[in-house]
Structure 1
Amino acid sequence: RELLQYDEDTSGGIMATEYISIKSDMDVGHTLSFLRKEAPDAETGYYIYVVDDNDHLVGVVSLRDLVVNDFHEKIEYIMNPDVVYIKADSDQEEAANLFKKYGFLTLPVVDDENKLTGIITADDILDVVEEEATEDMHKFAGIVPLEQPYFSTKISSLWKKRILWLLMLFIAESFTGKIMSVYQDAMQAFIILSFFVPMLIDCGGNAGAQA
């Protein structure tokens, strides 16, 4: 129910709510004991996010930081306060770009009040990258992006997605070809008209991609 308030193509729509958060006044020993209890049910335990009493995101500490520090060391002294995060209503492609830029295993998601609401993991973002790449390829070919995998899409749906563009391309190419055949002499006299030839070839290429 919590996730349904976000659109499916936003960071909030793909985040997991099974994350681990701690308070900055906890020490390393207490935190490790807490992890033994909570980590089995969490999405991932590589990064532990630090929040204040109002659940505002204030820092992050890695599992490595906990292992190498003394049990009595306070979290506030070993945490990194400069946390890279993303808003819950941000597009999922923006989250994918952050993973690509920083090489994260997880990315925290916050609401408009900077309260921690969930995390996005690397395996979640792989699905997003594949989905966005497929959508970009469809757009590159002049095809309306499909909502389902290509081979799972009905023939009628594929026909509806392409028939309008195919008709427009065929009509445009027919007119362009007719005009070029009529004005062959003019094209020889005015070389600048030859610059329209690539447009005709591109129409043919787009028609082929659509088909």
Structure 2
Amino acid sequence: MSSNEITIDRQSYYDDIYRSVRDNDRELFRRLFLKLHDRDQHEVFHLLYPEKKRKIADLLTPEEFAIIFEWMDVEDQEAAIEYLSHNFIQEVLSYLPADVIANLIHEAETIESETIYDLLEPAQRDLVRELLSYEEETAGAIMIKEFLAISPESTLKEVISFVREKGHQAGTIYYLYVLDKQHHLLGVLSMRDLILSPENELVKNVMFQQMVSVPITMDQEEVARVIQNYDLLAVPVITPDNKMRGIVTFDDVMDILEEEATEDLISFAGVPRSSAEDKEPTVLETAKKRTPWIIVLIFLGLMVGGLISIFHKTLETVIALSAFIPLITGTGGNVGTQALAVTVRDLNLGGEDIGQRIWQTVKNEFGSGVLIGLISSLVLFVVLNILKIELILTVIVSVSIFLTICFSAVTGAIVPIILTKFKVDPAVASGPFISTIIDALGLMIYFLIATNLLEQI
């Protein structure tokens, strides 16, 4: 079946659902709607007209709607709270994990936080307040409180019964966390070990004690790296005295990595990182954040123009030199930006061996720069000869390309390291900023070689 046929079938299926809502056919709606994946359910609901959305309380149970509610963005969640009945939305929130509600309270713009708190049960309210008490973008702020805790003295048979009873309330059941009566983390029991071990065995004899955990104050990017490096589905979050407070799951990490990647891409365009976090920045805010970097680039551009003025006599001697300026600057900028991207990635990965890894990256970039420069200059030399360009000009351009590529690779690798030392986000050194620096470097190399060689003639 082609992708077009799949699209048509899906749209036809959605149309049947919309007709069932229009006709108040609850039985047909539930039969069609509940067969969809959670994400597709959200898509169907999102496309309903507002007056039709109000019917959802008559068509779905609060538990069923809670699944859709989790998929919504904060704006839609706020709207749902406003147009659905107080009792219905109160039940919906009771089925949601604390981290989802905490995010809603933190991001909400049209609903007061106390309005949402009033809809929560006391125990759930306390969990949400705890999550919001931690510093933003730390393990404590992004963790979920719904995890399965078991006693080291329980038998595996008892644990299996416990999982069957409480598992649907947890963020994940693949790991069970072994805690003492004071909530200290003693170990972890995987679902694999639970199923494959004898039922009469005690948890303390099967649990894994060399587990990986993260402190509650750890930055979310560091948490993401821990989960990636150890190939975990979730990681426990602990206090300084080893008391377990929650878990960070793999799907939360994926969201974090996507967010950080988006921020880095925006920074690579020369826009400050904070701009990536604004939903709808005003014209004034956008200008305020971008202007300082544009001013810096203007002054750097003046330096590049100054270089051309300094070597104007060289250009007047051989007018054809100007034809190759875009080639020199463009090639250098491309190589430098590639090297910078690799170094910024290594800096973001962090780790105990970051110093050694960064040094190795610089050496690798220099080595690849020499090799790329050598190949590029040889190819360029051959092409210019075929085009019957003067030999002296061919030599000048070929040698300049070689040296520009070598120096650009090293510059692109070193600049983010220097910026990091000065506590400046290395991502903002990308794009136009690094290109302007390398433009100046490439032109200086080009004109110095041209001046020296032409003087020898």
Bin for the TM-score computed over the shorter chain: 0.7 to 0.9
Equivalent residue number for residue 134 of structure 2:
6
1:180 matches 2:301? no
Shift of 1:116: 0.5
1:22 matches 2:255? no
Q: Aligned match of 2:188 in 25, 39, 60?
A: 60
Distance, in Å, in 1 between the alignment partners of 2:236 and 2:258 is 21
Distance, in Å, in 2 between the alignment partners of 1:116 and 1:147 is 35
1:143 matches 2:288? no
1:79 matches 2:225? no
Q: Which runs of 5+ in 2 are unaligned?
A: 1-128, 318-402, 412-432, 440-457
Q: Aligned match of 2:297 in 169, 172, 190?
A: 169
Structure of higher RCO (CA pairs closer than 8 Å, 6+ residues apart): 1
| Alignment deviations for residues 21-64 of structure 1 (CA, whole Å, 9 cap, x no partner) | 11111110111111122111111111001112221111101112
Shift in CA distance, 151/55, structure 1 to aligned 2, threshold 3 Å: closer
Equivalent residue number for residue 173 of structure 2:
45
Equivalent residue number for residue 98 of structure 1:
226
Distance, in Å, in 2 between the alignment partners of 1:152 and 1:102 is 37
Distance, in Å, in 2 between the alignment partners of 1:113 and 1:134 is 35
Matched to 1:49, the amino acid is Y
Distance, in Å, in 1 between the alignment partners of 2:434 and 2:280 is 31
Shift in CA distance, 151/43, structure 1 to aligned 2, threshold 3 Å: closer
TM-score (norm 2): 0.40
Of structures 1 and 2, the larger Rg is shown by 2
Distance, in Å, in 2 between the alignment partners of 1:128 and 1:151 is 17
| Alignment deviations for residues 113-138 of structure 1 (CA, whole Å, 9 cap, x no partner) | 11100001111111110111122233
Deviates more, 1:83-92 or 1:146-155: 146-155
Matched to 1:171, the amino acid is F
Q: Aligned match of 1:113 in 233, 238, 241?
A: 241
Distance, in Å, in 1 between the alignment partners of 2:296 and 2:215 is 41
1:40 counterpart SS class: helix
Q: Aligned match of 2:435 in 187, 191, 202?
A: 202
| Alignment deviations for residues 144-188 of structure 1 (CA, whole Å, 9 cap, x no partner) | 113556784444332222112112211331244134313445899
Distance, in Å, in 1 between the alignment partners of 2:199 and 2:190 is 15
Equivalent residue number for residue 191 of structure 1:
none
Q: Do the aligned residues in 1 keep the contact of 2:138 with 2:220 (CA within 8 Å)?
A: yes
1:103 counterpart SS class: coil
| % identical aligned pairs | 34
Distance, in Å, in 2 between the alignment partners of 1:33 and 1:143 is 54
1:2 counterpart SS class: helix
TM-score (norm 1): 0.83
Shift in CA distance, 5/140, structure 1 to aligned 2, threshold 3 Å: same
Shift in CA distance, 161/205, structure 1 to aligned 2, threshold 3 Å: farther
Deviates more, 1:174-183 or 1:27-36: 174-183
Q: Do the aligned residues in 1 keep the contact of 2:156 with 2:199 (CA within 8 Å)?
A: yes
Matched to 2:150, the amino acid is I
Shift of 1:143: 2.1
Equivalent residue number for residue 129 of structure 1:
257
Distance, in Å, in 2 between the alignment partners of 1:17 and 1:201 is 44
The size of the alignment, in residue pairs, is 202
Equivalent residue number for residue 209 of structure 1:
none
Aligned Cα RMSD in Å?
Answer: 3.0
Distance, in Å, in 2 between the alignment partners of 1:205 and 1:21 is 56
Deviates more, 1:71-80 or 1:139-148: 139-148
- Structure (1/2) with the larger strand percentage: 1
